[in-house]
A and B are shown apart, each in its own frame.
Chain A
């Protein structure tokens, strides 16, 4: 599904590489955590996975396509098969909760009733049906997090990558979110979650990709 082969990335004008010689594979239907200290290169790896950055060296394939030669539209089409949860939520401030969540479904034209029902269902599932017409400015951090998650999963992605998805929610909501993720994973969605939360990894065990100083330090199965 995603394959890093000796991938390195150096930001423009930076003196050192943000990640260096990273190689690993994410198999279809797998579930991994991405961990490591701050500044280790997790965000850079993340951005490369959703094709916001391309390697300055090495080869990165997403959905079995080398991203180096992809056009903007090919990248867009591949992104439709992904769900991305950003740490800073990236919600559109002038759209309501419902509109933000439905955004991935609007790319093929006007939504049909089934899709609208699906949006309502997912909003209900993250516990925000009473706020579906609110703007993000009137939501707490945890609520924004849930909207971001709802948007990422609304189109049943084949790959879900999430950056600290439970970082702003309470323990109970965190468990519900992880339950949703594991359910999606059971139905075939490949899952990669970046987290610092050890308890999350303990409660919901899965192999970890550990990054340190831009290098892949280990690929471990955690129990």
Chain B
């Protein structure tokens, strides 16, 4: 069985003669770039959140009363360091504490400063055990509890991500609809050629093959354009906005390349569906015939 389509047959059904169909490349570049940027932003946001979450989880501050003695603090250090998940303990110097608390005290610098113990922990730490041990030795102590804030931020991040996913889905839907319209428009413009091919015995599968080849060729050009534009945009951001660099990971680059490729898949599925629907409608023998454009 031969799979190569003869150039004459390919030339016979030339959808590119339709101006709307020719826009497919441009549409693919713009929407591909948009979706690539959106997906990259999504992955960057995930990375920002992940790194921030790690830093929040790895440090706990224990606030002790100003009159706590060095002996009491040492006892607390000895009690906490043996808790699984605690790596290091470091009392902050009074100057650092003053700097941290100054915004909340205004100009009143004569107030006694609390003692702050900076505790480095990992994820295996059982916070309830830690908090109970602190309260046992220092009933008046306050322990930072970032869990509520982490949850709020996590919810916000997930909300933003869900919004971005919906926007991406909308972009994909829009593109699918536009592709369906362009294929339909291209076929309408080629109604005369389409009818002749049908009269000489072209099957729907053959015609779909001709259509999909042309859609693929244009969409592939658009996809390459979108990938190049997305990669260039990320490179420019990396060069001119240094704080972003740690968050542009390999995942972000993959997203920038993968989104237009996924869009290409959507284009091909939409084109296949649209071509099938148009050809089936055209074969409704007793339906009034459409006029060639």
Contact = CB atoms under 8 A, between A and B. Distances in A.
Interface in B169-225: 192-193, 195-206
A51 B199 CA distance: 9
Contacts of B2: 108-110
Nearest to A76: B203
A34 B5 CA distance: 37
B11 A94 contact: yes
Contacts of A111: 6, 8
Chain A interface residue bracket vs B: 20 to 34
Interface string A88-109: 0011101100010011111111
A158 interface: no
B104 interface: no
A102 B196 CA distance: 13
B280 interface: yes
Contact of A109 (B5, B12, B197, B202): B5
A107 B286 contact: no
A92 B193 contact: yes
Contacts of A109: 1-6
B235 interface: no
Contact of B199 (A54, A77, A84, A102): A84
Contacts of A200: none
Interface string A38-80: 0000000000001111101000000000000000110111011
A6 B285 CA distance: 19
Nearest to B288: A12
B14 interface: yes
Interface string B12-26: 101001000000000
20 contacts: A13-B288, A51-B285, A73-B205, A76-B198, A76-B203, A79-B199, A90-B192, A91-B196, A92-B196, A94-B11, A95-B11, A106-B6, A106-B8, A106-B12, A107-B9, A107-B200, A107-B206, A109-B6, A110-B6, A111-B8
| 4 tightest A-B CB contacts, nearest first | A109-B2, A80-B201, A106-B6, A72-B283
Given A79-B199, A79-B200, 7 more contacts: A53-B286, A82-B201, A90-B195, A92-B196, A107-B203, A109-B2, A151-B200
Interface of A: 12-13, 50-54, 56, 72-73, 75-77, 79-80, 82, 84, 90-92, 94-95, 99, 102-111, 151
